[in-house]
Amino acid sequence: MTALDPVAYLRATPPFNGLAQPLFDLAAGALEVGYYPAGSRLVAVGGEPLQHLYVIRKGSVRLEREGQTLQVLEEGETFGYTSLITGRATLDVIVEDDLLAYRLPAQDFQRLLADAHFAGHFAVGLSQRLRSSLEHSPVTTFKADLNLEVSQLLRRPAVWVAPSATVGEAARVMRDQRVSSVLVRTEPPGIVTDRDFRNRVLAEGLGPGTPLLDIVTRPLRTVEAAVPISAAWTTLLDFGGHHLPVRRGEEIVGVLTSTDLLKCHAPGPVAVLRRVERLADRSALPGYGTKVAEMASALLAGGLEADVIAGYVARLNDALVRRVLAFAEADLGAPPAPYAWLTMGSEGRMEQTLLTDQDNALVFADEGEGHRAWFQQLAEHVNGDLEAAGFPRCTGGYMATQWNGTVSEWVQRFAGWFEARKPQELLEASTFFDFRRVGGALDLGPLEEALSSTAQHPVFLRYLAHAALDLRPPGSLMMRLRESAEIDLKMQGLSPITLLARCYGLEIGSRERNTRARLEAAVKAGLMSQEVFSGVSEAYRFLLGLRLRLQLRLLSAGKAVVNRVALSELSGIERSRLKDSFRAIKSWQDMAAYHYQASL
């Protein structure tokens, strides 16, 4: 930014970057330059209000009330608008570091307020600023319209057959109409696809005279015609299908196929899902992690939010786990007892954007007690295959090879964790409290019941909350040392939110695992206000997106992916919004510390 002249700098700074050219020319023509040494008091509470809008180019200012620092503003941030809008001085403004600022006189600022976007920038709160600020600096040149409505991808109306039709009759309709599925006029309606003919008819030795009702799938999984293609991806990934009926109101207007979605966006999740489904053996596992990173890069460049991308990554990883479980069962034979493969951590919360260390566990029915060797082999096969696919082994050992056992053993583990007081025990508890089943058929009701009883252990919750509150965002001093200071976006930003959200979810007995869903549940339970929720959830979304964008840059440069970033690598607006995010987190942590009686 240092090479920019004042006009170019102003044009690159929100909200001036959104002004129409005539209004911006007005602002540029009125621009003044001001220099103020450290310690200068620009305005005092109750005194003469500021008569300019200030845009900081260099240095910083401190906003105070009754001697207490409320905020420190620096490069790329604006101040003075409260005085200009209200006509009153409500804060002390003191120059923290030698200040170089561009000033816009009051009368010119008032003229710019005619622009709704410009005026709105100064009217919104923290959560809205965060929502609108994270620029999507593409890490690839790909750009797609991911908000395209699914109805625009439909090539023809849906094809229907009567419920009395046979398999042979339906097959002839599909051949004549050149479609890969037909809808069946049952109540509720159903669908039959070419895959059904292969898997439910030919593979089972049935003939063309088989009633269609014997193989129909119903009720239908549908999407509304007006939803974007990204929503269609989510629905397809959720139920693992390849045909998606599209409705407008109560009427089904067509059927979208995975091929249709693949053609409109080749680097999307449908392409990766097809790769997973077509894995013939273990030799095809390497390269999966690269494909996921390429997909994340393309989707971020296309304008999707990081939390949406994380949802796709989680669903694709689930499909991969189920595939490697099938490989293992083919090698070892049928399971001697029902089991469940669990994923934990960010993957359990469906918040993993790029492949990270494995966090998984294995639970099997009590009757499998005498077959521990089989389940140990299963864990070794799957952990090894996941490593080959790009998931590094967990350095802390939180993998199924070490963490497996019967349902009764796991219930006892949970009970033991409720008595936990030591840091290692609390770490284990918090890791496993994000579990989510991705494979196997074992009923996990006993584990869910054990987890939902956490509220009956207030002392444990207090210790867990205290451990969560030990992770704090950096102080304002570090945020001003921008040339040398580094921020760990995970440990100082994301983890303080996820860990505390987990405490809230456990306290109210919520079965949600996702951080935002836990926060929403906390609002409904009265533990959080809507205002606090908005600030914290938008801070989380901002931090997740910023980390993903920075990590993709590292990948594209052939560097190791890390969570740390030097403040000097961020733009002025990114540093500003990072401070806003940390401020929202700290405020929430202060409230939570009082709630859990945990001193900070």
Give residue-wise pLDDT tens across range 90-118. 899 999 888 999 999 999 999 998 888 88
What is residue 474's predicted lDDT score, i.e. its pLDDT?
Answer: 87
What is residue 139's predicted lDDT score, i.e. its pLDDT?
Answer: 40
More confidently predicted of 75 and 346:
346
User: Taking 70 as the threshold, does the pLDDT of residue 599 lie above it?
Assistant: no
Angle between helical axes of 495-507 and 530-556 (0-180°, round to 10): 140
- Kindly state the average pLDDT of the residues 186-204: 90
How many Cβ atoms sit within 10 Å of the Cβ of residue 590? 12
- Kindly state the average pLDDT of the residues 26-53: 93
- Kindly state the average pLDDT of the residues 414-437: 87
- The structure tokens listed for 519 are 């926060």
What is residue 134's predicted lDDT score, i.e. its pLDDT?
Answer: 47
What is residue 48's predicted lDDT score, i.e. its pLDDT?
Answer: 93
CA dist 582 and 488 (Å) reads 12
More confidently predicted of 187 and 4:
187
User: Taking 80 as the threshold, does the pLDDT of residue 410 lie above it?
Assistant: yes
Domains 6-123 and 150-264 share a fold: no
CA dist 349 and 398 (Å) reads 16
What is residue 124's predicted lDDT score, i.e. its pLDDT?
Answer: 58
What is residue 121's predicted lDDT score, i.e. its pLDDT?
Answer: 79
| Band of pLDDT at residue 338, cut at 50, 70 and 90 | very high
What is residue 40's predicted lDDT score, i.e. its pLDDT?
Answer: 93
- The sheet carrying 404-406 orders its strands as 404-406, 360-364, 339-343, 436-440
User: Taking 50 as the threshold, does the pLDDT of residue 1 lie above it?
Assistant: no
CATH 3.40.30.120, applies to 150-264:
no
What is residue 2's predicted lDDT score, i.e. its pLDDT?
Answer: 42
pLDDT tens digit sequence for 555-565: 888 888 889 98
- Kindly state the average pLDDT of the residues 162-169: 93
Which of 15-24, 129-138, 486-495, 506-515 has the least mean pLDDT? 129-138
What is residue 144's predicted lDDT score, i.e. its pLDDT?
Answer: 47
Q: What is the mean pLDDT of the chain?
A: 87
What is residue 136's predicted lDDT score, i.e. its pLDDT?
Answer: 41
Instruction: Note the helical H segments in 116-217.
Output: 116-123, 126-133, 167-177, 194-196
**For residue 188, cis peptide bond before it (omega within 30 degrees of 0):** yes
- Kindly state the average pLDDT of the residues 193-200: 89
What is residue 141's predicted lDDT score, i.e. its pLDDT?
Answer: 37
- Kindly state the average pLDDT of the residues 204-228: 91
| Band of pLDDT at residue 32, cut at 50, 70 and 90 | very high
What is residue 553's predicted lDDT score, i.e. its pLDDT?
Answer: 87
User: Taking 70 as the threshold, does the pLDDT of residue 50 lie above it?
Assistant: yes
Which of 165-169, 358-362, 475-479, 594-598 has the least mean pLDDT? 475-479
Which of 84-98, 134-148, 336-350, 577-591 has the least mean pLDDT? 134-148
Which of 104-118, 141-155, 391-405, 457-471 has the least mean pLDDT? 141-155
- Structural domain boundaries in the chain: 6-123, 150-264
What is residue 138's predicted lDDT score, i.e. its pLDDT?
Answer: 40
- Kindly state the average pLDDT of the residues 63-78: 81
More confidently predicted of 471 and 130:
471
What is residue 232's predicted lDDT score, i.e. its pLDDT?
Answer: 86
Which of 90-94, 208-212, 394-398, 566-570 has the least mean pLDDT? 566-570
pLDDT tens digit sequence for 277-332: 888 889 889 989 888 988 888 888 777 888 989 999 999 999 999 999 999 999 99
The highest-level CATH class for domain 6-123 is mainly beta
- The structure tokens listed for 582 are 């940390």
What is residue 497's predicted lDDT score, i.e. its pLDDT?
Answer: 97
Closest by Cα among 86, 102, 81, 110 to 23: 110
SS3 of residue 417 by DSSP: helix
Which of 131-140, 179-188, 416-425, 441-450 has the least mean pLDDT? 131-140
447: Cα separation from own chain's centroid: 26
CA dist 10 and 177 (Å) reads 59
85 close to 93: Cβ distance less than 8 angstroms: no
Tell me which amino acid residue 487 is.
I
What is residue 131's predicted lDDT score, i.e. its pLDDT?
Answer: 58
User: Taking 50 as the threshold, does the pLDDT of residue 129 lie above it?
Assistant: yes
User: Taking 80 as the threshold, does the pLDDT of residue 484 lie above it?
Assistant: no
| Band of pLDDT at residue 126, cut at 50, 70 and 90 | low
More confidently predicted of 261 and 365:
365
The residues facing 72 across adjacent strands are 62
Exposure class string for 372-397: b at 16+ Cβ within 10 A, else e: eebbeebbebbbbbbebbbbeebeee
Angle between helical axes of 495-507 and 515-524 (0-180°, round to 10): 50
What is residue 333's predicted lDDT score, i.e. its pLDDT?
Answer: 95
CA dist 168 and 205 (Å) reads 14
Q: Confirm whether pTM is higher than 0.95.
A: no
> Helix count (H) and strand count (E) of the chain?
24, 18
